[in-house]
Chains A and B, each alone.
Chain A
Amino acid sequence: DTAVSQTPKYLVTQMGNDKSIKCEQNLGHDTMYWYKQDSKKFLKIMFSYNNKELIINETVPNRFSPKSPDKAHLNLHINSLELGDSAVYFCASSQAGTTIFFGSGTQLSVL
């Protein structure tokens, strides 16, 4: 069983489109995250949610909207996609300051 799973694995889309990436964790963790890895492999946090409540929002454009229907899911919706949004997006989860486990990533390519 995959602990943190995200879909799709690859996403290719046109500029201006709206897309979503889904994430689910079966670890029973109370905190979930979205991280972004750019073309230079820099990995930066975007958001974190604790029990469906937004905790961290790292000055991410409003076009990015995370949604947590329950504590096992944290989806990322992106409006009006831009070329600069092309990156690998990682979902992650943890339980109260313990080890953070990452999903396998979603490679987003905006054409």
Chain B
Amino acid sequence: SQELEQSPQSLIVQEGKNLTINCTSSKTLYGLYWYKQKYGEGLIFLMMLQKGGEEKSHEKITAKLDEKKQQSSLHITASQPSHAGIYLCGADWSGNTGKLIFGQGTTLQVKP
């Protein structure tokens, strides 16, 4: 069966600290999406990775996809309270259908 595991499930960090969220797929990914969800604001697109070894950055957030295209990590540098929310990874295993299978999410709290 196709599975997507996200870890950790929750994370509390002190402001200014770095953190990493992982997403592991049971099979090779066509694409891997990262989204952030804040209450009442829907899902905010962060990054999409498609190539093995790909790495993308936006402001203080960096996402990587491993060479085998089965594992992705999201790294936040010098976390801020504005980074708090639920981070979701979404796997595209089929390509082109738009059907994403999501992980269970990681709830991030950043303490000032």
Contacts and interface: CB of A to CB of B under 8 A. Distances in A.
Interface of A: 9, 31, 33, 40-45, 48, 55-56, 90, 92, 94, 96-97, 99-105
Interface string B38-63: 00111101001000000000000000
Contacts of B99: 45, 48, 56
B108 interface: no
A104 B39 CA distance: 9
A90 B43 contact: yes
A43 B42 contact: no
Interface in B57-112: 86, 88, 90, 95-100, 102, 104-105
A102 B35 CA distance: 10
Given A43-B88, A105-B42, A99 B48 contact: yes
Q: Taking chain B's interface residues, is the majority helix, strand, or loop, or is none over half, making it mixed?
A: loop
A41 B103 CA distance: 9
B23 to A, nearest CB: 14
Interface residues of B, number: 20
A100 B42 contact: no
Given A40-B104, A43-B88, A94 B98 contact: yes
Which one of A45, A48, A96 has the highest number of Cβ atoms from chain B below 10 Å of its Cβ? Answer: A45
A96 B43 CA distance: 20
Given A55-B97, A96-B96, A44 B102 contact: yes
B9 to A, nearest CB: 10
A48 B45 CA distance: 19
Nearest to A58: B99
Nearest first, the 6 closest Cβ-Cβ pairs linking A and B are A104-B42, A102-B43, A97-B96, A43-B102, A41-B105, A105-B42
A41 B86 contact: yes
